[in-house]
Structure 1
């Protein structure tokens, strides 16, 4: 029997949708415990949300009669596409341009961003937080690199200044092949 209780709408959590931390940060173990302060909240994401993509590249092994006798996975890229809506969020700027390339004045009123040729962001850990009352979900990306993509348009027209980005998921260093973990807690928000 079908039930609408088994559906989930990926609405961002009120406190934020995407967080990042150094690669060696411990994984969250549930969907409700607040993330420790080491996790940077990366501000609002535009209405298109976060899109997970990834399809294995499969190569067929064929016999002399050109019949497929086995398929092997030769690669399995995975990535998350998104657009950061907060162009003045220092944590977003550091994520895309590098912590050492973003400085904030002592009074917090001036942000300086260096665009360094050939910069590749360090591998970090990410968490996506979603709520669909009364359920809560965390998707933990064990290791990924953020990459700024797309053009930046300076205009007064919508959507304003935004940063398109992709999180390229990497093989984890913990000895497993688990690159992403999803934790969903049913009725988690009822008691909150």
Structure 2
């Protein structure tokens, strides 16, 4: 296959957000362009480092008496997504401190800092690609495995830095996450088509 620069891409946040969360049990998205259900909440702005997807593998190597490698295979695999949230808001704080530890009353927030329980959430990452395409990454079972430091000073925004471990899920065939990639225009075409279908049929104009 020949090189095609149209397949090279930057990864930017979508206009509505880059990271969404929903309670476990919420219906999973199954394509890149269908609008997410209302249960999926954006955690708001993400720092300029964006989202980092990492994999961690261990390899088992067995050699014979002469030092020749006989077996060399991956024996474990783990995947994670790291990002830093910029907004001090309920949905972002619910990721950082777990949902049950964040209380809202009007414009007021109360946040308890407690030992994490390993709360599982669904995570969806929405990435705008070069060439008017969108990548949607779905993690059906995500749990926070690491927390970054939070600094308070006048020079930088307050950040809530987390590392989400993507656990294998039977909902996507035992995978840790699943990607969907499609032209973003199809989302707009689909919405326009649905709107047109919803319009009542017009009666024929009476003839003279």
The two structures have a TM-score, normalised by structure 2, of 0.82
Note the C-alpha offset of 1:114. Answer: 0.3
User: Aligned pair 1:165/2:162, yes or no?
Assistant: yes
Note the C-alpha offset of 1:175. Answer: 7.8
User: Aligned pair 1:14/2:15, yes or no?
Assistant: yes
1:115 is matched with which residue? 113
1:5 is matched with which residue? 6
* Contact 1:134/1:190 (<8 A) preserved: no
* Contact 1:56/1:75 (<8 A) preserved: yes
The 1-side partners of 2:119 and 2:187 are apart by: 38
The 1-side partners of 2:60 and 2:3 are apart by: 37
1:53 is matched with which residue? 54
Match among 127, 140, 149 for residue 142 of structure 1: 140
The 2-side partners of 1:94 and 1:155 are apart by: 23
Residues 40-49 or 149-158, more deviating = 149-158
* Contact 1:96/1:147 (<8 A) preserved: no
* Contact 1:95/1:121 (<8 A) preserved: no
Deviating runs (4+, > 4 A) in structure 1? none
Note the C-alpha offset of 1:173. Answer: 3.9
Q: Map 1:52-91 to 2 at 5 A.
A: 52-86=53-87, 88-91=88-91
* Contact 2:172/2:178 (<8 A) preserved: no
Mark the runs of 5 or more structure 1 residues left unpaired by the alignment: none
Q: Which has the higher helix share?
A: 2
Match among 180, 184, 188 for residue 177 of structure 2: 180
The 2-side partners of 1:100 and 1:143 are apart by: 18
The count of corresponding residues between Structure 1 and Structure 2 is 186
The 2-side partners of 1:20 and 1:110 are apart by: 22
Note the C-alpha offset of 1:20. Answer: 1.1
The 1-side partners of 2:151 and 2:126 are apart by: 28
Deviation string for 1:130-189 (max 9, x for gaps)? 11341111011121102452221111212x211111001112144832111111103x32
Residues 1-10 or 41-50, more deviating = 1-10
2:36 is matched with which residue? 35
2:21 is paired with a residue whose SS is strand
Describe the shift of the 1:119–1:191 C-alpha distance in structure 2 as closer, same or farther (beyond 3 A).
closer
* Contact 1:84/1:92 (<8 A) preserved: yes
2:200 is matched with which residue? none
State the structure with more CA Rg. 2
The two structures have a TM-score, normalised by structure 1, of 0.89
Describe the shift of the 1:126–1:191 C-alpha distance in structure 2 as closer, same or farther (beyond 3 A).
closer
